[in-house]
Amino acid sequence: MKLGTIGLVVGIVGFVIAVAVFAAVFLLVVKKEPGGSRSKGAISAVIGEIRKAREASQEEQRIYESGSEAEAYIIEVRDTGYATKRYTELLLTLEVVPANGESFRVQTRELISQTHIALFQPGAKLKVKYDPADKTKIVLVSSPVLSEGRKSDITHRLEELEALREKGLISEDEYKKKRQEILNSL
């Protein structure tokens, strides 16, 4: 066979496979109801979720562009139990401190990158923007920064760990494991 013919056959086979996969997914998503009729419920639910996500994104963009700036301190962090390969959803309780106004507390659910999750600890400070008309609507503007007291605490813990290793009170493996735990808490 000529190279062009092989390419044409491969293209046709690829197209047929793509159509078959699309058909299979469609049949899995659109459920059959008793009596043989097809339900659009699953598709409607997905479309509804997409619509909600788009509206939430537009609301966040509005607050980011026109909201009031403030510093916030993390009071409490709770894992909601929802996670993907790259993100974990956290429920954060924040003490928001506007430049001119009274501080207030707010809770927000945020998807946090696995690489940044260790920064979200009580006492950490970050910048936020909020809607002055509805202070429950808030957007994180920066990643948290540990306070100086927290930094010195970590330095102190690392120094203590080093002293334990030098005195032979812990093994090299224990030292490495615990050191990594401390560094991961940053």
Q: How many angstroms separate the CA atoms of 81 and 67, rounded?
A: 30
26 domain-assigned? no
7 domain-assigned? no
Could you list the pLDDT tens digit for every one of the 186 residues in the chain? 455 566 666 677 777 787 777 777 666 665 554 554 555 666 777 787 788 878 878 888 888 899 899 999 988 999 999 988 889 999 999 999 998 878 899 999 998 888 888 888 888 889 999 999 998 999 998 888 765 555 556 777 788 888 888 888 888 898 888 887 777 665
- Shared domain for 71 and 98, answered yes or no, is yes
Q: 14: which residues sit within 8 A by CB, 6+ positions away?
A: none
34 domain-assigned? no
Q: How many angstroms separate the CA atoms of 48 and 32, rounded?
A: 20
- Shared domain for 179 and 152, answered yes or no, is yes
- Shared domain for 134 and 60, answered yes or no, is yes
- Shared domain for 95 and 68, answered yes or no, is yes
- Shared domain for 77 and 135, answered yes or no, is yes
Provide the number of structural domains found in the chain: 2
